[in-house]
């Protein structure tokens, strides 16, 4: 085992600068993740466990393994992606939806048959989509809205999708859910282990599937009335961001809304009109 200054326990091989490009190339090719020319500490921290799990002696060996092992490429993408999310994150967007957005959407959809669709396009473990579904379902129960919404959540990571579908969250994670929504849409665990589950009435309205926004795979048949594309564009370079935004806009019905993350660069798209901070409407044709 090699020892390095400042490291008490050397946890496997060190990543050398000349080994970085082979790894960033796979990240870009398989997930559109742009590591901006390196981020050597980031890669070291995220990938060391994968390298040692395979008993490899160098990151060069790991890059070779990635080329021949599709399952490991999936683990690689899992290791590089950040899944931070929370219920009612960027709460102003949900308030806007409740107070302003839903009524206008219902008006625009008066001749549409069937349920309306919320799409959480990089849904992580699900809180973004569940929060939106709580807002729309509560509006329906209060009869401020007649139409029912279904939820489609997509993500590149199968692991987070499983959590989303199980819909079980530690109590601390649901702390951001407003009290009334909690009463309507969360069940506390009977075993008293401080976990909550989304109620079956919402779970039956949701489906979760794997999709890659960069490759455009897994998106067939999605036609949304409300799309969330938040805190994922930051991974991509400018041309990829533009392609991903366009891919999402094409799956949004005219008059529908797009929500993006506050930290993501403002952008222009010929079919989108900004309605507020990080809130857009797709123009009617």
Q: How far apart are CA 275 and CA 264, in angstroms?
A: 16
Q: Which of 21, 39, 28 is nearest to 237 (CA)?
A: 28
Considering only residues 22 through 51, tell me which ones interact with ligand SAM, judged by CB under 6 A. Answer: 31-32
Nearer of residues 31 and 102 to ligand SAM, judged by Cβ: 31
Query: 35 or 213, CB closer to ligand SAM?
Result: 213
On whether the CB atoms of residues 284 and 109 are closer than 8 A, the answer is: no
Figure out which of the listed residues 43, 97, 151, 160 binds ligand SAM, where binding follows CB under 6 A: 160
Residues 174, 87 contacting (CB under 8 angstroms): yes
Residue with tokens 């400018």: 238
- Least distance in angstroms from the C-beta of 233 to ligand SAM: 9
| Shortest Cβ 174–ligand SAM spacing (Å) | 14
Nearer to ligand SAM, 13 or 257 (CB): 257
Of the candidate spans 39-47, 197-205, 229-237, 273-281, the one that interacts with ligand SAM by CB under 6 A turns out to be 229-237
Which of 48, 131, 136, 231 lies at the binding interface for ligand SAM (CB under 6 A)? 231
- Residue 233 touches ligand SAM, criterion: CB under 6 A: no
Within 59-88, which residues bind ligand SAM (CB under 6 A)?
81-85
116-120 and 149-155 as β-strands: parallel, antiparallel, unpaired?
parallel
Q: Where are the alpha helices (DSSP H) in 97-192?
A: 102-108, 127-141, 158-166, 179-185
**Residue 113, phi then psi, degrees to nearest 5:** -95, 150
What is the rounded distance in angstroms from the CA atom of residue 81 to the CA atom of residue 201? 31
- Which spans of this chain sit near ligand SAM (rule: CB under 6 A)? 31-32, 81-85, 89, 122, 124, 128, 155-157, 160, 211-214, 230-232, 235, 261
């Amino acid at each position: 085992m090699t020892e390095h200054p400042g490291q008490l326990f050397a946890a496997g091989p060190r990543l050398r600068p000349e080994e970085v490009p082979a790894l960033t190339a796979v990240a870009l090719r398989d997930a559109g993740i742009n590591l901006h020319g390196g981020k050597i500490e980031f890669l070291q921290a995220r990938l060391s466990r994968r390298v040692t799990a395979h008993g490899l002696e160098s990151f060069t060996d790991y890059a070779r393994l990635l080329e021949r092992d599709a399952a490991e490429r999936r683990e690689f993408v899992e290791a590089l992606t950040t899944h931070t999310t929370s219920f009612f994150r960027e709460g102003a967007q949900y308030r806007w939806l409740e107070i302003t957005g839903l009524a206008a959407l219902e008006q625009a959809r008066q001749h549409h048959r069937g349920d309306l669709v919320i799409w959480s396009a990089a849904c992580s473990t699900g809180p973004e989509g569940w929060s939106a579904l709580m807002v729309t379902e509560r509006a329906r129960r209060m009869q401020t809205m007649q139409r029912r919404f279904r939820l489609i959540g997509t993500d590149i990571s199968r692991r987070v999708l499983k959590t989303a579908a199980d819909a079980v969250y530690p109590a601390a994670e649901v702390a951001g859910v407003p009290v009334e929504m909690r009463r309507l849409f969360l069940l506390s665990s009977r075993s008293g282990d401080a976990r909550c589950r989304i109620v079956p009435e919402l779970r039956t309205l949701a489906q979760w599937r794997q999709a890659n926004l960069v490759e455009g795979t897994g998106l067939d048949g999605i036609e949304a009335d409300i799309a969330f594309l938040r805190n994922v564009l930051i991974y991509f370079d400018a041309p990829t961001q533009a392609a991903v935004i366009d891919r999402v806009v094409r799956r949004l019905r005219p008059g529908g809304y797009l929500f993006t993350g506050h930290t993501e660069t403002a952008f222009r798209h010929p079919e989108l009109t900004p309605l507020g901070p990080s809130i857009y409407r797709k123009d009617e044709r």
